[in-house]
Amino acid sequence: MTYIDDLVNKYREILNLYLYGDDADQAFDWCQSFSEEVIEMDTSPEEIVSLHIDLLEDMEVEDVALVKKSLDILQEVIISFGFTYRDYKSMMNKLKIHDKEMDVASSLQETMLKTEIPTFETMKIGAISVPARKVSGDYFNIIDHKDGMLSFAVADVIGKGIPAAIAMSMIKFGMDSYGYSQLPSDSLKKLNRVVEKNVNQNMFVTMFYGLYDHNTNLLYYSSAGHEPALLYRYETDDFEEIDAKGIVLGVKENARYEQKEIEIGNNDMIIVFTDGVTELRKHDDTFIDFEDVKDMIREVKDHHPQDIVQYIYESLMRMQNPNKKDDLTLFILKNNKD
Amino acid sequence: MNINIDTTEKENEYLIVLDGELDVYTAPELQKVLDPIRQSGSHNVKIDLTDVSYMDSTGLGIFVGTLKDLNQHERELRVTGVSNRILRLFEITGLRDLMHINEASEVE
């Protein structure tokens, strides 16, 4: 017996009991469990109506009074469809509200959190940040301290949607409000306290924070659990990994961050990115080989960093499995003191 | 992409065995299983990742949240069967020092 036969028999039993039996309440009880079952199977109301018609014929119910009486059962079953429809509608409404909230978060990011890329004579900067969905979890900020110092940060906020957008604005206004050049380890320590107090349980933020002094060519940097950055050495055509120890922001109240410094040579590039680059999934679902990314950078190393990030982004998009998209951010600072 | 979640309760611990990929798409399913456990705080939690081929930062977020909730109730979070690729995530983020990862479990 198929599942459909089973349902037909159940409906026949209900009709039999109601029309010829003596326990109407029992019949209505059965109606309820019957409706639940057919709704579960995605049966449509019109299928139930034709089942009803077929069964009346099959059971040879011809008496007008009986046919009329049988409609009570049909009505009882159809009522449940009405409830389901109303549930569906209220869910659609909720979804609409949710969509609107996402629009707010997305325009908040586009306007308030937008970072202008400053221009300098002695260095060049390129940056690209592309969200996978409406609201991005990636964020970068660049601050020109006008005293020969430049702060930059690349962050990945884990936990999406509005909480992520709020966390980002906290970070931006935290960074911007220092107003003078702060050491990366101190900045991260402060940002950690801000994020730790305000975010929901599952959320955390990874961040690479750099302070570049273009008088001395020294880069000071710290990392809050972020992907290691790269330093491209122009003279040797080699990449060095730059990383410092530190836990992600928002998890441990009194976290401390290691800070390192390194000298940047002429035409060297500091390259910071998010896991949208390192964890990129290719069309065959395998992970990207990071050596390929390094080779891409080598190919265009003599271009302006903005062209380099654009080129890499486009190459990565061609390789990427479109169903496995993640937010992607790339930041390049090139020392340019010719 | 799918994930299978198998939960067994023994004495003071929930053992949660995952099979599949733990990412932004499947994380809500694990979240649903963990929510009541996190709130009640009556059990330690052990999550087995032996058959998890891929995990992204959303997955890490769940571990962070679970850890915070469990710590409030003085309960522990253990993660076992962590592959090298996933271990790298725990290491970069500094979270490895906060959780019990791939520790040999006590003899039963």
Strand, coil or helix: A323: helix
Tell me whether A254 touches chain B (CB under 8 Å).
Answer: no
For residues A280 and A132, what is the distance between their CA atoms, to the nearest angstrom?
A: 12
A202, A228, A251: residue with CB nearest B98? A251
User: Which residue reads 């037909």 in tokens?
Assistant: A8
**In-domain check, residue B83:** yes
Measured between beta carbons, the chain B residues lying within 8 angstroms of A247 are 93-95, 97-98
Whole-number pLDDT of residue A48? 92
Cβ neighbours of residue B21 closer than 8 Å, sequence gap 6 or more: B1, B2, B3, B52, B53, B54, B55
**In-domain check, residue B70:** yes
Q: Does 3.60.40.10 match the CATH number of domain A112-335?
A: yes
Cβ atoms of A156 and A138 closer than 8 Å: yes
Q: Is the pLDDT confidence value at B99 over 60?
A: yes
Tell me whether B5 touches chain A (CB under 8 Å).
Answer: no
B56, B62, B93: residue with CB nearest A225? B93
Q: What CATH number matches the domain at A3-103, 1.10.287, 1.10.132, 2.40.30, 3.40.1350?
A: 1.10.132
B95–A248 CB contact, under 8 Å: yes
Residues B6-33: tens digit of each pLDDT: 999 988 999 999 999 998 889 889 999 9
Whole-number pLDDT of residue A338? 63
3-state secondary structure A86-115: HHHHHHHHHHHHHHHHHHHHHHHHHHCCCC
A200–B24 CB contact, under 8 Å: no
Tell me whether B64 touches chain A (CB under 8 Å).
Answer: yes
Q: What is the CATH number of the domain that holds B70?
A: 3.30.750.24
**Residue of chain A whose Cα is closest to the Cα of B94:** A247
Q: Write down the domain spans for chain A.
A: 3-103, 112-335
Tell me whether B36 touches chain A (CB under 8 Å).
Answer: no
Whole-number pLDDT of residue A223? 97
Quote the domain boundaries for residue B54: 44-103
Measured between beta carbons, the chain B residues lying within 8 angstroms of A246 are 94
Calculate mean pLDDT across residues B86-106: 85
For residues A243 and A263, what is the distance between their CA atoms, to the nearest angstrom?
A: 14
Q: Is the pLDDT confidence value at A294 over 90?
A: yes
B98–A252 CB contact, under 8 Å: yes
The angle, 0 to 180 degrees and rounded to 10, between the axes of the packed helices A3-20 and A24-40 is 160
Interchain CB contacts (distance < 8 Å): A and B: 59
Q: Is the pLDDT confidence value at A214 over 70?
A: yes
Domain count for chain B, please give it. 1
Residues B37-85: tens digit of each pLDDT: 988 888 999 999 999 988 988 899 999 999 988 988 899 999 999 999 8
Whole-number pLDDT of residue A138? 87
DSSP B10-37: ETTEEEEEEEEEESTTTHHHHHHHHHHH
**In-domain check, residue B13:** no
For residues B91 and B99, what is the distance between their CA atoms, to the nearest angstrom?
A: 11
B94–A156 CB contact, under 8 Å: no
pLDDT band at A240 (very low <50, low <70, confident <90, very high): very high
Calculate mean pLDDT across residues A33-55: 90
Whole-number pLDDT of residue B108? 40
A251–B24 CB contact, under 8 Å: no
Whole-number pLDDT of residue B107? 42
Q: Which residues in chain A (194-233) have CB-CB distances under 8 A to chain B?
A: 200-204, 206, 224-228
- Count of beta carbons in the 10 Å neighbourhood of residue A74: 19
b/e per residue B31-58 (b: at least 16 CB within 10 A): beebeebbeeeebbbbbbbeebebbbbb
**In-domain check, residue B8:** no
Q: Average pLDDT over chain A, rounded to whole? A: 89
